[in-house]
Amino acid sequence: MQKKKKLAIIITGLSIGLIFSHLLQAATFTYYRYYIVQKGDTLYDISKEYGVSIKTIKRKNNLRSDRIYPNQKLILPITVKGVYHVVKKYETLWRICKAYKVNIDDVIRLNRISDPGYIRVGQKLFIPGAKKVVKISIPEKIALNKEVNAAIAKRKKGEESSSTPSPKVIAGRGSLIWPVKSNVFKYEKKSFGIDIFAPAETRIIAPARGKIYFSGWLRGYGKTIIIEHSQLGLYTCYMHNSLNLVKKGDVVEKGETIAVIGNTGTVDKTVLHFEIRRADDGKPVNPLDYLPLNKTKKKGS
């Protein structure tokens, strides 16, 4: 009898532990969106489509009856299931979204992230659709062999290295091509990139083969594209575009047109703001260390 009682206590304790573990991970997030009533819509249809009860719709919109009219504006509270992820050291938004297999656009929108390149340690991010918190794998270093590292070090010292064999992964001077044909650009360390000036309608090309990781609008930067170059361990970023010609998931080849230069976001001149970030920690690097020296630097005005 004593054994049964003890076993029951253990089982109960395990059950409570599992319940609390589930409660600590599972979460919901509610946001509001507007819906414009279309001809033929009913509250029942809208309720089913967006998963909001008729009672809630009526309460949020002060409706006394079930009657609605075309072009009527309704507020809908949308509740999404997911988990909260606490950002840890060296984690980036891109790597977090990859681990959870979620759309980065959804995470940016729900968490009101203005710059996906900057998230802080300790920040809580709501991950829609996730059922449990997962551990983010952080590579110890970029996958570059000793020969490549030695070649880069020699280039930095201005030494010639003709004997070094060409590696599969090239992450040094000249490994990328310029994204815009222009001789006018400026580099400022505090801006984490270079501004390349060119006439309107100038095309922007991919500096290396890669996969489109983000294509959309970012506050302050306007129309933006981010390409993941897994073979280089890098991300390249293109801001202020007038037109994005690729979408998330597209694979682009070196030299392929991806966008048109513009002045969207907080700029008043036609310019491409170009950044390169490391894939392991998201930190920006000097683009001039990766581009061929075939440009004449001029003061952008």
DSSP-based three-state secondary structure for 150: helix
Q: Where is pLDDT greater, at 5 or 157?
A: 157
For residue 250, report the phi and psi dihedrals to the nearest 5 degrees.
-65, 145
pLDDT greater at residue 168 or residue 185: 185
The strand pairing partners of 273, in sequence order, are 195, 239
- The answer to whether residues 262 and 149 touch, using CB atoms and an 8 Å cutoff, is no
Distance of alpha carbon 181 from alpha carbon 101, whole angstroms: 36
Q: How far apart are CA 229 and CA 280, in angstroms?
A: 12
CATH of domain 83-137: 3.10.350.10
Range scoring the smallest mean pLDDT among 89-103, 170-184, 243-257: 170-184
pLDDT band at 185 (very low <50, low <70, confident <90, very high): confident
Query: What does the pLDDT read at residue 261?
Result: 94
Neighbours of 165 (CB within 10 A): 7
Helix H or strand E encompassing 225: strand 222-229
Local confidence band at 26 (pLDDT 50, 70, 90 cut-offs):
low
CATH topology match: 28-80 vs 83-137: yes
* pLDDT digit string, tens, across residues 50-102: 888 899 899 989 998 989 999 999 988 888 888 999 998 878 888 899 899 99
Q: Chain-centre distance of CA 219, in angstroms? A: 13
Residue 41 half-sphere exposure toward CB, CA atoms < 13 A: 19
Looking at residue 81, its pLDDT comes to 86
| pLDDT above 50: residue 8 | no
Of 62, 111, 66, 58, residue with least CA distance to 87: 111
* Residue boundaries of the structural domains of the chain: 28-80, 83-137, 169-289
Indicate whether 176 pLDDT > 70.
yes
Residue 174 — left, alpha, or beta (φ > 0 → left; ψ -120 to 50 → alpha)?
left
d(CA 273, CA 192): 9
| Residue 9 to residue 6: CA distance in whole angstroms | 5
Q: Residue 174 has what pLDDT?
A: 60
| Beta bridge partners of residue 285, listed in sequence order | 276
Residue 282, Ramachandran bin (φ over 0: left; ψ between -120 and 50: alpha; else beta): left
Among 69-73, 170-174, 293-297, the range with the most confident prediction by mean pLDDT is 69-73
pLDDT over 90 (residue 256): yes
pLDDT confidence of residue 149: 41
* Topology of the domain covering 169-289: Glucose Permease (Domain IIA) (2.70.70)
Tens digits of per-residue pLDDT, 105-151? 889 888 888 877 778 889 999 999 888 999 888 764 433 333 334 43
- CATH topology for the 28-80 domain: Membrane-bound Lytic Murein Transglycosylase D; Chain A (3.10.350)
